[in-house]
Amino acid sequence: MNLPDVALTDTPLDASTALARVNTPGAGGIDMFWGITRGEESPEGPLVGLEYHAYPEMAVEQIQELIRQAAQRWPICRAVVWHRVGMVKVGEASVVVAVSTPHRAEAFESCRYLIDELKKLAPIWKKEIYAGAARWQGA
C-alpha cells in the first residue's frame, strides 16, 4: 500500500481529487464514503451547519493507524481520509473516505471499517449550529 493520504482541512472536499488519489491499475474496486451535513429542524430552528474542532496531530496519527490496521485485514492499494475542520454548511461534505482494493467486497468492507472507527476513535468534535442556538455533539 502507498502511504495513506490523511488530512484535516478547512477547505471544501473534492470528489474527483479523492477518486484520482486512490485510482491505480491494481485496483478492481474503489469505495468512497461522503459524510454530508444534512439539514434538520430542532426546537432551536433549522441547522445552519456543523463546526468541527480537532486535536490535529493526534487525529492525523490516529487515522493513519486506523488505515494501517485496515491494511492488515484487507489488501488496500490506496486510501484517502480527509476531514473538514471549522464550519461545514448544510449540503457540504465534512468527511471523505476512499479506498481502492483488488476486489469490490474488500473495498466496501475496508471503507466501512475506516469511517466507523474514525467516528469512534479520532479526536474530532463537532458543534451543531442552529439558527437560535449551538450545542456540542460527538463527531
CATH number, position 11? 3.90.1170.40
The pTM is what? 0.93
Q: Residue 139: pLDDT above 60?
A: no
Residue 138 has pLDDT above 70, yes or no: no
Q: Which domain holds residue 83?
A: 5-138
Check residue 82 and give left, alpha or beta (phi > 0: left; psi -120 to 50: alpha). Answer: beta
Task: For residues 76-94, give the mean pLDDT.
Answer: 98
> What confidence tens digit (pLDDT) does each residue in 3-53 have?
789 999 999 999 999 999 999 999 999 999 999 999 999 998 999 999 999
Give me the percent of the chain exceeding a pLDDT of 90: 91
The model's pLDDT over 114-131, given as tens digits with 9 standing for 90+, comes to 999 999 999 999 999 999
What's the confidence (pLDDT) of residue 45?
93
Q: Which of 139, 118, 135, 128 is nearest to 39 (CA)?
A: 128
**What pLDDT does residue 137 have?**
82
For the cut 80, the answer to whether the pLDDT of residue 74 exceeds it is yes
| DSSP per-residue letters across 81-138 | EEEE-EEEETTSEEEEEEEEESSHHHHHHHHHHHHHHHHHHS-EEEEEEESS-EEEEE
What total number of domains does the chain contain? 1
Q: Which residues contact 45 (CB under 8 A, 6 or more apart)?
A: 130, 131, 132, 133
